[in-house]
């Protein structure tokens, strides 16, 4: 059994935390990381984070074994929405690079598309790092990009440190942020820059999403523009640029994000931390809103349970594991779960098998689509690609 441990504030190390919400998940038969966590804010600096979670090594094993970033449905290619986001990154970062000879490292690079965009615009000295070996194979095949398999702790300190290190959608996943930033500092040249992009937790309540989806299994740090600045200041980085962007993730979902560009400085001034007053307010609003949306979803699930006929459930991520742990969905007659990620197929949830979309061709149970962000694309896959006639149960 994985042991959970309390965290001090990853930014200011304070032990004083305010509890906001307990997030709960049910477990997969194997490959699970968490049964839930406490969403808290630091009373000293205002940073929001997940408390009572496993140690970093457990996260490292999870990312190596359960990658969601291999994009198997599309032969390793990310979505058009991700591509648009990457194009904005390149435009943002380029003015801060000294020359096309600058060495660029993308940490958590998935299948390497962002690096391939840099390569297309003349930057040939690019390298990626990703925990999934499948990602490094795909990056080589699709874009001829070299991707080392591993995580931040494995990367060798190069003879010549990197001129630019990119962490896009990475810092919100890391438990030991302090260790990560000191590692980063070691592999970055003195005049080098770091680009960071994370979800903006001070805006969660302003954008529609599935209830509590922002408190996912994988996201354990909830940054605002203030707390990202505070973090980088406390670990010896100077902020050169701070941006708030909103990136579409699907036709009906927008992710608020905060990003910045930083360089190393010698003297750290802890007094320069400014308390983040926004995160607690917005996370509290987001929790109230999520509870409201969830009531409506529970109604639909209650109807399904009361009808007592067998159903299939499409999706086995945070959305489903949360509903199995917190609604009556676990009392429904679920004959199977469906997931297109092969890493989930063959496992079980409450002893119910997880099967692939191809396995449902001769089954006539209604399909409950357990996703907000991908509801439309799953609908298209069922009706237009698999050409199935099954009734659909939609939660959104
Ligand atoms: Zn703090």
Distance 39 CA to ligand 1 centre (A): 14
Q: Cα(8) to centroid of ligand 1, in Å?
A: 8
Share of the chain above pLDDT 90, in %: 77
Q: Tens digit of pLDDT for each residue in 82-93?
A: 999 999 999 999
Distance 2 CA to ligand 1 centre (A): 26
Q: Are residues 252 and 122 in the same domain?
A: yes
**What is the Å distance from ligand 1's center to 50 Cα?**
13
Q: At residue 20, does pLDDT exceed 70?
A: yes
Residue 245 shares a structural domain with residue 332: no
pLDDT at residue 72 in the model = 66
Domain identity same for 254 and 327: no
User: Residue 241 above 90 pLDDT?
Assistant: yes
Q: What is the pLDDT of residue 73?
A: 64
Question: Which CATH number is 331's domain given?
Answer: 3.40.50.720
Last residue of one domain, picked from the residues 249, 266, 283: 266
Cα 112 to Cα 42: distance, rounded to the nearest angstrom: 35
Mean pLDDT of 9-32: 89
Q: What is the mean pLDDT of residues 96-106?
A: 97
Specify the pLDDT at position 68: 67
Q: Is the pLDDT of residue 332 over 70?
A: yes
- Calculate how far, in angstroms, residue 219's C-alpha sits from the geometric centre of ligand 1: 18
Distance from C-alpha of 303 to C-alpha of 315, rounded to nearest angstrom: 20
Beta-strand ranges (E) seen in the chain are 17-24, 36-42, 48-51, 104-107, 126-130, 147-149, 162-168, 188-199, 221-222, 237-250, 253-264, 311-314, 334-338, 348-349, 352-355, 367-369, 392-394
The percent helix, strand, coil of the chain (3-state, each to 5) is 35, 25, 40
Do both 131 and 226 map to the same domain?
A: yes
**Which of residues 250, 266, 282 is at a domain's end?**
266
Instruction: Please write the tens of the pLDDT for every residue from 211-227.
Output: 999 999 899 999 999 99
Query: Considering its fold, how many domains does the chain have in total?
Result: 2
- Report the residue count for the chain: 396
pLDDT at 28 over 80: no
Which residue, among 205, 222, 396, has the nearest Cα to 289 in the 3D structure? 205
Q: What is the CATH number of the domain that holds 175?
A: 3.40.50.150
Other Cβ atoms closer than 10 A to 263: 18
Best mean pLDDT range from 25-29, 101-105, 132-136, 315-319:
101-105
56 CB-near residues (< 8 Å, 6+ apart): 174, 175, 176, 179
pLDDT digits (tens, 9 = 90+) for 150-207: 988 888 777 899 999 999 999 999 999 999 999 999 999 999 999 999 999 999 999 9
Going from the Cα of 229 to the center of ligand 1, the distance in angstroms, rounded, reads 12
- Please tell me the distance between residue 119's alpha carbon and the centre of ligand 1 in angstroms: 39
Going from the Cα of 240 to the center of ligand 1, the distance in angstroms, rounded, reads 22
Residue 275 Cα to ligand 1 midpoint, Å, equals: 8
pLDDT tens profile 134-161 = 899 999 999 999 999 998 888 877 789 9
CA of 66 to the centre of ligand 1 (A): 31
374-395: pLDDT as tens digits = 999 999 999 999 999 999 999 9
Quote the ligand 1 centre to 228 CA distance (angstroms): 11
- Output the CA 230–ligand 1 centroid distance in Å: 9
Q: How far is the CA of 128 from the centre of ligand 1 (A)?
A: 31
Residue 232 CA, ligand 1 centroid: distance in Å: 13
Regarding whether 197 and 108 lie in a shared domain, the answer is yes
Residue 388 lies in a domain: yes
Distance separating alpha carbons of residues 199 and 203, to the nearest angstrom: 9
pLDDT at 310: 96
Checking if the pLDDT of 94 tops 90, the result is: yes
Compute the distance from residue 3 Cα to the ligand 1 centre, in Å. Answer: 23
Structural domain contains residue 150: yes
pLDDT band at 300 (very low <50, low <70, confident <90, very high): very high
For residues 253 and 384, state if they share a domain: no
> pLDDT at position 148, please?
93
Taking 80 as the threshold, does the pLDDT of residue 352 lie above it?
yes
156 burial level (CB within 10 Å; 0-12, 13-18, 19+): exposed
Edge-first strand order for the sheet with 221-222 is 17-24, 36-42, 48-51, 221-222
Cα(176) to ligand 1 centroid in Å equals 14
* Average per-residue pLDDT for the chain: 92
Out of 245, 266, 287, a domain closes at: 266
User: In this structure, is residue 118 part of a structural domain?
Assistant: yes
**Same domain? 114 vs 169:** yes
What range defines the domain where residue 215 resides?
A: 64-266
């Amino acid at each position: 059994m994985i042991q959970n441990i309390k965290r001090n504030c990853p930014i200011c190390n304070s032990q004083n935390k305010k509890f906001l919400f307990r997030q709960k998940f049910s477990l997969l038969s194997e490959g699970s990381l968490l049964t839930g966590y406490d969403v808290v804010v630091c009373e000293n600096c205002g940073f929001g984070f997940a408390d009572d979670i496993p140690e970093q090594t457990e996260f490292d094993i999870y990312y190596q074994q359960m990658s969601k970033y291999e994009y198997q449905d599309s032969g390793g290619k990310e979505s058009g929405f991700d591509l648009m986001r990457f194009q904005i990154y390149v435009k943002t970062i380029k003015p801060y690079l000294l020359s096309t000879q600058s060495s660029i490292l993308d940490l958590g690079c998935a299948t390497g598309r962002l690096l391939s965009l840099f390569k297309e615009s003349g930057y040939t000295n690019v390298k990626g790092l990703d925990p999934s070996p499948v990602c490094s194979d795909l990056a080589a095949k699709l874009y001829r990009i070299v991707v080392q398999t591993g995580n931040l702790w494995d990367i060798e300190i190069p003879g010549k440190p990197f001129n630019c290190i990119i962490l896009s959608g990475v810092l919100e996943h890391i438990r030991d942020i302090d260790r990560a930033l000191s590692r980063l500092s070691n592999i970055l040249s003195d005049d080098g820059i770091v680009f960071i992009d994370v979800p903006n937790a001070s805006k969660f309540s302003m954008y529609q999403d599935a209830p509590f989806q922002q408190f996912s299994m994988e996201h354990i740090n909830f940054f605002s523009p203030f707390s990202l600045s505070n973090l980088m200041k406390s670990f010896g980085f100077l902020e050169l640029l701070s941006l708030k962007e909103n990136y579409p993730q699907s036709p009906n979902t927008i992710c608020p994000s905060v990003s910045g560009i930083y360089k190393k400085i010698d003297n750290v001034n802890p007094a320069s931390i400014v308390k983040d007053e926004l995160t607690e307010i917005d996370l509290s609003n987001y929790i109230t809103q999520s509870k409201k949306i969830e009531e409506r979803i529970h109604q639909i699930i209650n109807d399904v349970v009361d009808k007592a006929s067998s159903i299939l459930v499409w999706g086995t991520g945070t959305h489903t594991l949360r509903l199995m742990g917190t609604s009556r969905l676990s009392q429904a007659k679920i004959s199977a779960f469906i997931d297109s990620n092969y890493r989930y197929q063959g496992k079980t949830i409450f002893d119910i098998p997880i099967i692939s979309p191809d396995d449902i061709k001769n089954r006539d149970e209604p399909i409950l689509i357990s996703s907000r962000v991908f509801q439309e694309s799953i609908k298209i896959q069922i009706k237009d690609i698999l050409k199935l006639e099954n009734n659909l149960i939609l939660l959104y």
